[in-house]
Chain A
Amino acid sequence: MTSQDPITGEASRRQHDLGGLELGLIDRHEHPRTLFEMRVDAMLMLLTHPGCAAFKVDALRRAVENYSKLDYENLPYYDRWLKAIRQLLVEQSVLTDAQIEARLQVIRERRAAEGQ
């Protein structure tokens, strides 16, 4: 028996806690690392390094594990990290959401101008 959520009546199981569920075989194929993945990895290493300490990796796990089932299943691994990093930077008042959006807009316009 597992404990029940007092509101939903469901087992208090978060999206990542999959042990024992029937989910088929694990895809063990390797794929080449992408620049995007390495950048996200580097960003997390820098942000959690004691010299920066924007947040702990525990907070990253908490953010990822609290995603909706849809987000958790549809986002690739490093996209989950990136979404969590963005949330935690705002949560910790390192950046505001408006600052992130403004910067994204600059990058989008630059890319459009470069015809990418």
Chain B
Amino acid sequence: MFTDGMLVRVLDHAIFGHCRTPVYLKGKVGEVVSEAGAWRNPETLAYHKPGLPLRRLYRVRFRQADLWDDYPFPRDTLEADLYEHWLAPADDAAMGDRQ
């Protein structure tokens, strides 16, 4: 479980089935903005399973400059809804460069 303001890293798992986490966010560090409820897991709903247990969904804010090479606007951000099982607490080392 994550709280608002926490830094989290998007896990860089290989994807073998249906998944809502876009490739361009994998491995990136962002800040939890809010919790967006708990929902059935689309990764198993996609294969006609019940999608349980429910998974918490978090809105996470990333710096665009952390996502794209040579991005010129340092204050631009991007928010994405990500399920809890795709997130891990970002370690202290990540807080410096957020890469």
- Give the B-binding residues of A (Cβ under 8 A): 1-6, 11-14, 17, 19-20, 55-56, 58-59, 61-62, 65, 91-92
Contact = CB atoms under 8 A, between A and B. Distances in A.
Interface string B17-34: 111001110110000000
B75 interface: no
B69 to A, nearest CB: 9
B12 A2 contact: yes
14 contacts: A1-B27, A3-B13, A3-B14, A4-B14, A11-B23, A12-B15, A12-B23, A56-B45, A58-B42, A59-B46, A59-B48, A61-B18, A62-B17, A65-B18
A62 B14 contact: no
B46 A17 contact: no
Interface in B23-78: 23-24, 26-27, 42, 45-48, 51, 67-68
Contacts of B15: 3, 12, 14
B46 A62 contact: yes
B48 A3 contact: no
A65 B46 CA distance: 11
A59 B45 contact: yes
B21 to A, nearest CB: 9
A85 to B, nearest CB: 14
Nearest to A1: B27
B12 A1 contact: yes
B14 A17 contact: no
Contacts of B24: 19-20
